[in-house]
Structures are given as C-alpha cells and as structure tokens.
Amino acid sequence: MDKVITVKNLKKSFGENHVLKGIDLELSKGDNLAILGRSGIGKSVLTKCIIRLIEADSGMVSVLGKDMYQLDDDNLDEMRRRMGYLFQGGALYDSMSVRKNLEFPVRRTQVSRKKGELKDKVEEVLQNVGLIDAIDEMPADLSGGMKKRVALARTLILEPEVILYDEPTTGLDPVTSGEISDLIVRLNEQYHTSSIIITHDMKCARITADKIFLLHNGRLLYGDTFENLSKNKDELIKQYFV
C-alpha cells in the first residue's frame, strides 16, 4: 500500500530530557494507527514533530511523498493544508461562533470558494458531525463533546488527506468518548483519510485503530492489532488491558 507518512530515526530532546530516541513509523493510505503512552511521555511531541509545529533534532519525516524538513515556508504551509491536526483541547476561537470557527481556516488558507459554496460546506461538515443545530452557538455554550465535534468539523472542512488526532477523547465521559471514537472511524471512511491517533484511552484505540503502538522510553513498541495485544503477556502492555 502507498505510504502517506514515513518516520525514520526521529529524535527530539529538551535539554537533558531525551523525549524521542529514534522513532520509526509508517502509515499506509487508508490506515488508522493509535499510539498509546502515559501522560507526558512524548506522544504529542511526536505528532507535532511530524507536522513541524516542533522541530525535531534529527531524523526524517516524509508526508505524502514530501520530506517535511526540506520544505520552505510556503511549501510547508501548502503541505499542512493537506493535513489535519485535531488539538487536544479543540483550540476553538472563543470569540467566534461555530460557523465562524469553520469559515476561518478556509478564508485564511485562501481556498477559493464562493460565499454560497462556503456556507454549504460549513453546513455539510456540521451535519456530518451531528451539530448542524449548533451552527450559530458560541464555544462557551457547548459541552466538551460538542467542542470536540466542532473541532473535528473544522479539521475536515479543508478535506485533508491525513489527520493527526491528539487525545480526541480526553476529558469526556465514557459514553461521549465512545461516540467520538465511532465518529472518527465513520468520518475517516467517508472522507478517505489516513490517521494517527494519540491517546491513553484503550477503548478509543480499540475502536479507531487498525494497529496500536506503545510509546515507551522514547521508542515505539509492539505495532499490532488490539486482539493480538490483548493476549500479550508483557507487563508493559498488560497494564493497558486492566
């Protein structure tokens, strides 16, 4: 299968804290990978190095056939338009309505759309995440689960080929967490995206991922299906199945 992301020997330190010690990872077209790990272990650092929100110290990251660390600013911005990044907290603009939050990335990236087309696109993605009735609400009036759905809709509006999810179920109750996980799967199938899902939620990983990795001591381990990992006797992985 075509590789949409390839990471080789990626390293990142902050002073004496060696967070990533040589990460190797491949994401194939149409696949969803989950990366588990304790809080503060470097999961978000990894995805931010992939999209170059954080600069890696060394290693190689190829996304959609382009070496991310060889791109100039203009080409990097163009590549990021082909990628979606769902921030852990949603990162909605508090001063903007749901509608304006979704319109903003389209206007900022200067994607050519007539006013009517943009209106239709906003309504389409909100319909797909089940929030069309909240189109003129403000973020402060939304529940945690609703904010996650709006953030996901805002990610989808630019029709990315790859999406990086940073803790998509953090702070949600178990029922809402399951709904968001199911929604990720459905929307990835509908929009034909490939995804990396950063999580500490095994239920989310089970629902969303074709393959699961564990980030431990700066390296990725296992890389197997949920079913196979559930039978693994290694203490490192058993703790996630308690």
What are the pLDDT digits (tens) for 95-143?
A: 999 999 999 888 876 555 566 788 898 999 999 888 899 999 999 999 9
Strands 3-14 and 219-224: unpaired
Q: What is the DSSP string of 44-55?
A: HHHHHHHHTSS-
**Can you give the pTM of this predicted structure?**
0.88
Say what the pLDDT of residue 114 is: 62
173: helix, strand or coil: coil
Quick: pLDDT tens for 26-64. Answer: 999 999 999 998 888 899 999 999 999 999 999 999 999
Q: Walk me through the domains of the chain, giving residue ranges and CATH numbers.
A: 3-82+160-241 (3.40.50.300)
The more confidently predicted of residues 106 and 20 is 20
CB atoms within 10 A of CB 220: 21
